[in-house]
Amino acid sequence: MPLTINTNSAAASANYHLSRNQSSLQKSLTRLSSGSRIVQPIDDAGGLAVSMKLESAIVRLNGAQKNVQNATSFLEVQDGVLASAGKILNRMIELKGLSDDVMKNDSDSENYNREFKDLQMQIYDMASLKFNGVSMFATTTLKTGGSQAVFDNLNQSKSLDHTASVFVSADGNAGAIVSVSKALLLSALTINTNSTQLEDGVAYGRTLNSNFAAGNAMTFAAVDSNETINLSDVSVGVFTQAIQNIATLRADNGASMSRLRFAGEEMSKQETNLVSAMGRITDVDIAAESTRLAKYNVLVQASASMLAQANSSADVALMLLR
């Protein structure tokens, strides 16, 4: 091999390999420090595209899971109010029994009746409660508007604002949807005393008169003291029907919570699987990458040493010129 000064092929070759080894060493260091196999699109363009789509699906699932959690909280708070309504009705039944006692004088009966009226106003106020600004109880059942009529367990779908949609998949409104009921509390407290369904438009929160002549309906919820009914106007059977209606609402509530629970569990499984799939694409193999790091670390040192030795060949040429 000729000895030259202008062109040092050995040094150029050593410098080339040193540059490549340094680049590979830097890439290994970046992968190990980030934990990701794909640092730049050039590392795996196809894998990067798939991982971005998987990450987007994971983010959407997280959002849907939060929706389910919020809906479950909504139903839990709503059920608490329904349970309280049931307790109030039980207290009303107790007051009815106490007032019918022949050993009670008129003053005693009036005291019981006063509490009965106060409870009617309390239960009406409960129906206006909200969860984070969202009404927990429906206000209308008629598609044409108007007030809520007698409770109809078989035909609650008439309500315009009876349900709230909860998206329970990564596909948003194009995927699975669970309808969360806004319980028909006031309707459940409006009783048809002759077991005949009322005409649409019967107001609740109003006494239709003490004899229930207007459609034979009555309600245990009153806007104010002028709209309340008296204990003497109510039979035990009417209380029983109201409690049955509240029980039906709580059963519907429980069914919705059960579905939301299973929907949440399914989304959690999907998220776990998607995270695992994305990890198989993007995560770096620490053992393999550590081996490559050690390899390129040795090669960089060897390349640097060989470059220094190649550069010393010019000194040999100068020695011949002395």
Within a domain: residue 22?
no
Query: What stretches of 182-265 adopt beta strand conformation (E)?
Result: 190-192, 217-219
Q: Is 311 helix (H, G, I), strand (E, B) or coil?
A: helix
Q: How far apart are CA 13 and CA 303, in angstroms?
A: 9
70 alpha-carbon distance from chain centroid: 5
From CA 135, how far away is CA 69, in angstroms rounded?
17
- Exposure of 277 by Cβ count < 10 A (0-12 exposed, 13-18 middle, 19+ buried)? middle
Range of the domain at 255: 50-279
pLDDT tens digits for range 266-319: 999 999 999 999 999 999 999 998 999 999 999 999 988 888 888 777 666 666
CA distance 163 to 157: 9
Name the least confident of 69-73, 82-86, 189-193, 260-264. Answer: 189-193
Contacts of 7 (CB under 8 A, 6+ apart): none
Report, as an integer, the average pLDDT of 123-144.
Answer: 74
pLDDT at 6: 64
Per-residue pLDDT, 151: 54
Distance of alpha carbon 181 from alpha carbon 141, whole angstroms: 13
Q: What is the pLDDT of residues 142-186, one digit of tens each?
A: 433 344 444 555 444 444 456 777 777 777 766 777 777 677 788
Is 94 contained in some domain?
yes
Structural domain total, the chain: 1
Among 36-40, 47-51, 153-157, 196-200, the range scoring the smallest mean pLDDT is: 196-200
β partners of residue 135 = 130
Q: Which of 33-37, 61-65, 212-216 has the lowest mean pLDDT?
A: 212-216
Highest mean pLDDT range out of 24-33, 173-182, 191-200? Answer: 24-33
Q: Is residue 247 part of a domain?
A: yes
Query: The tokens 């005393």 sit on which residue?
Result: 193
Q: In the predicted model, what is the mean pLDDT of the chain?
A: 79
State the average pLDDT over residues 247-276. 90
Residue 222 lies in a domain: yes
Structure-token match 């990890």, residue found: 279
Q: What is the DSSP letter of 314?
A: H
Asked, for residue 84, whether it belongs to a domain, the answer is yes
186 within a domain of the structure (yes/no): yes
What would the mean pLDDT of 82-104 be, rounded to a whole number?
89
Kindly state whether residue 194 falls inside one of the protein's structural domains.
yes
Asked if residues 24 and 296 have their Cβ atoms less than 8 Å apart, the reply is: yes
Q: Answer yes or no: is 200 within a domain.
A: yes
Q: Which CATH number characterizes residue 77's domain?
A: 1.20.1330.10
pLDDT band at 135 (very low <50, low <70, confident <90, very high): confident
